[in-house]
Amino acid sequence: MRLIDRAAQTNRWRHMPTAEKLAVSLCGLAVAALSPSPGVKGAVFLLMGGLVMAGARVRPADYLRALAVPAGFIATGVAAQAVTLSLSGGPVLALAGPEAMARALSFAATGFASVSALLFLALTTPLTRLVEWLEDRGLNPHLADVALVMFRMIWLTLDCLESGERALKGRLGHRSFRGILTSHGLLLAALLPRVLARARRLETGLAARGYQGRLVFLSGEAPARSARVWLTLAAFAGLFLAGHLA
Amino acid sequence: MHIMEGYLPVSHALGWAALSLPFVAYGARKIIRTLEEKPETKMLLAASGAYVFVLSALKIPSVTGSCSHPTGTGLAATLFGPSVTAVLGTIVLLFQALLLAHGGLTTLGANVFSMAIAGPFIAYGLYRGLTRAGASMAVAVFFAAALGDLATYCVTALQLALAFPDPVSGVFGAAVKFLAVFAPTQAPLAISEGLLTVVVMNLLSRYSADELKALAPATGKA
């Protein structure tokens, strides 16, 4: 669960401007969604993977692990599209015709290209920077604060959940279906008061430090260069047009 | 079941986002108003959001023997109310897309509609309806959580069927097909999630009544 966040916090491009990385990712998503050419989708997939592994220096093993779950979801979706269901005279399931197969494969290509664009953003940009970027663009500061504190609390809560789960497993709480349900029920019921108590302690601690209702997080991010953003847009527009003309 | 990044046609992705927007905007307005009046509830809301996120990290056993993650929609809607859950769920789904690569940015609207709006609203409606009709809390919570979970998956199947109608049997046939793909895992999982939610709510109402009371102003249920 921490794989993507760890990569985002430690990669070589973590201090690069969020706006520039967001432009690359969103352009990749747009080209993957709008281009009819499978070659262009393949190019987006390879480009995004290359940027993440060669540019941001995210380990290939980490990249492939991050890609594994979405790939499973895409495969399930393609499998569902690769069969047809006839309801006349009882339900009959059959392999879809070549046209439907081609469409299923095209959607798989779109899926992989889009996921690679999403992973580019997720693996190179810490989530807190994205929330701060959204706040700079008009997201309500209260909602941004809730999201930022939530992000910090997720890891603490997850630690509590994992240690509780280990303890219950060690006490043979996972021996049967009923035991697992009771153990998980106890764990979740114990977790909520703990999380709320932690929230109250955090609030008291912040109040003691002069908290005025706004949380400020330090950021070592460089300012975005609009020339680079325009260059990104031009490069992806060129890729889209190349696919259209080919 | 999250719809993966790039899986929906652009028009569908935009349509589901437009449909989700009023619900999220209403919930956001409610939260902002609460936070302006009671800034101290910010930490409680953030903690609630973290709890909703972590709910989906827990693996529960399905009665078929496999394991899967609960949606947590029933529990979240019962604890925090559906409009607050819509906002917290949207943040959770955005975080899941960017921290786990589950779901995506272009499919966020569709996922928000199925998991943060349809599931919680149906679960909350059932919970309120059944308790008003005199059902015990356990029965109301079980049906709210199990059917809220199933509703989430039915809506997801419908979203996929609308996007990819079957060449022979159209949208209806595609919906049957997608439901059949999900049903072997989701129907037993919904029962497991319903049972788990009953255990959690029983324990919370017995031992954590003060905490539930503290949550009420933060979620606008006071």
Quick check: A177 and B31 CB within 8 A? Answer: no
The pLDDT of residue B112: 95
A89 vs A220 pLDDT, higher one: A220
Q: Are A174 and A180 in contact (CB under 8 A)?
A: yes
Quick check: A186 and B199 CB within 8 A? Answer: yes
Which site among A45, A65, A184, A211 would you substitute to test the B interface, given the most B Cβ atoms closer than 10 Å to its Cβ?
Answer: A184
Which chain B residues touch A84 with a CB distance below 8 Å?
166-169, 173
| Reported confidence tier of residue A28, pLDDT bands at 50, 70, 90 | very high
For residue B129, give how far its alpha carbon lies from the nearest alpha carbon of chain A (Å): 24
Which site among A125, A154, A215 would you substitute to test the B interface, given the most B Cβ atoms closer than 10 Å to its Cβ?
Answer: A154
Which chain A residues touch B5 with a CB distance below 8 Å?
29, 70, 111, 114-115, 117-118
Which chain B residues touch A154 with a CB distance below 8 Å?
50, 53-54, 95
Quick check: A121 and B98 CB within 8 A? Answer: yes
Q: Looking at A9-13, B14-18, B79-83, B125-129, which range is the least confident one?
A: B79-83
Identify the burial level of B72 via C-beta atoms within 10 angstroms of its C-beta, where 0-12 means exposed, 13-18 middle and 19 or more buried. buried
Selected from 1.10.1760.20, 1.10.10.1100, 1.10.3720.10, 3.40.50.300, the CATH number assigned to the domain covering B10-215 reads 1.10.1760.20
Quick check: B169 and A111 CB within 8 A? Answer: no
Is some CB atom of chain B closer than 8 A to the CB atom of A101?
no
Average pLDDT over chain A reads 86
| Reported confidence tier of residue B219, pLDDT bands at 50, 70, 90 | low
Instruction: In whole angstroms, give the CA distance from residue A130 to residue A110.
Output: 24
For residue A15, give how far its alpha carbon lies from the nearest alpha carbon of chain B (Å): 17
Q: Looking at B38-52, B62-76, B139-153, B178-192, which range is the least confident one?
A: B62-76
The pLDDT of residue B52: 83
Interface ipTM > 0.95: no
Quick one: what percent of chain B has pLDDT higher than 90? 34
Examine the pLDDT at B57 and tell me if it is beyond 70.
no
| Reported confidence tier of residue B164, pLDDT bands at 50, 70, 90 | confident
A120 vs A199 pLDDT, higher one: A120
Domain residue extents for chain A: 2-125+220-245, 134-208
The pLDDT of residue A87: 65
The pLDDT of residue B68: 63
The pLDDT of residue B64: 45
Place of tokens 């043979």: A172
Nearest by CB to residue A118, choosing from B10, B31, B101, is B101
* Predicted structure pTM score: 0.88
| Reported confidence tier of residue A62, pLDDT bands at 50, 70, 90 | very high
Interval A193-219 mean pLDDT: 78
Q: Which long-range contacts (CB under 8 A, 24 or more apart) does B34-37 make?
A: B34/B217, B34/B218, B34/B220, B35/A142, B35/A146, B36/A142
Please name which of A99, A64, A98, A101 lies closest in space to residue A79, comparing C-alpha atoms. Answer: A101
pLDDT tens digit sequence for B2-29: 888 888 889 999 999 999 999 999 999 9
Examine the pLDDT at A146 and tell me if it is beyond 60.
yes
Cα dihedral: A192, A195, A197, A198 (round 10): 180
The pLDDT of residue A79: 79
Examine the pLDDT at B65 and tell me if it is beyond 60.
no
* Residue-wise DSSP of A82-135: TEEEE-TTS-EEEEPPHHHHHHHHHHHHHHHHHHHHHHHHHHHS-HHHHHHHHH
For residue A107, give how far its alpha carbon lies from the nearest alpha carbon of chain B (Å): 7
CB pairs under 8 A between A and B: 234
Listed by number, the residues of chain A in 10-69 with a beta carbon closer than 8 Å to a beta carbon of chain B are 26, 29, 32-34, 66-67, 69
Examine the pLDDT at B66 and tell me if it is beyond 50.
no
At how many degrees (to 10) do helices B170-207 and A177-208 cross?
70
Please name which of A154, A145, A197 lies closest in space to residue B32, comparing C-alpha atoms. Answer: A145
